[in-house]
Amino acid sequence: MPASFLVSIREDAYTKLDRFKGRIPNLFGNYVHLDHLTATAARTAIQGPLNRWSARNPGQPVTIEPALVDAVLIKCATGRVLLEGRGAVSSPYRALLEGHAQIEAPYLQLVMTRLWE
């Protein structure tokens, strides 16, 4: 019986599938790479679940300070130190404020899971 499967894994684990390449036809034939999160999308990923929790549990609202959100985004930004021009170093905070920061989703997930616990 023909069957199709969709498997979603992080890119760091993707390379470990090489051992199945000979036994599973077209294993790497339909690879879809997801880009890093934008700062706006990452903020939504942080605040959205908290808003949903608070809506479902009115007696136990959960909030997060904007400064903590900024700190998490800075720590989870790709290339935490950016070089520009003549070797000057700019902080990820500047890129975050200008809307150019990209956020590593796996790291964001790990940090937010730990904070929630």
DSSP per-residue letters across 15-36: GGGGGGTTTSTTTTTT--PPPP
Q: Determine, yes or no, domain membership for 6.
A: no
Q: Determine, yes or no, domain membership for 48.
A: yes
Q: Determine, yes or no, domain membership for 41.
A: yes
Q: Determine, yes or no, domain membership for 15.
A: no
Residue type, 53: W
Residues of the domain holding 103:
37-116
Structurally, the chain folds into a number of domains equal to 1
Residue 16 scores a pLDDT above 70? yes
Residue 3 scores a pLDDT above 60? yes
Q: Determine, yes or no, domain membership for 29.
A: no
Radius of gyration in angstroms for the set of CA atoms belonging to the chain, rounded to a whole number: 19
Q: Can you give the pTM of this predicted structure?
A: 0.64
Percent of the chain with pLDDT over 90: 30
Q: Determine, yes or no, domain membership for 11.
A: no
Largest CA distance in the chain: 62
How confident is the model at residue 41, as a pLDDT? Answer: 94
Higher pLDDT: 68 or 74? It is 68
Q: Give residue-wise pLDDT tens across range 77-97.
A: 887 644 455 444 455 556 665
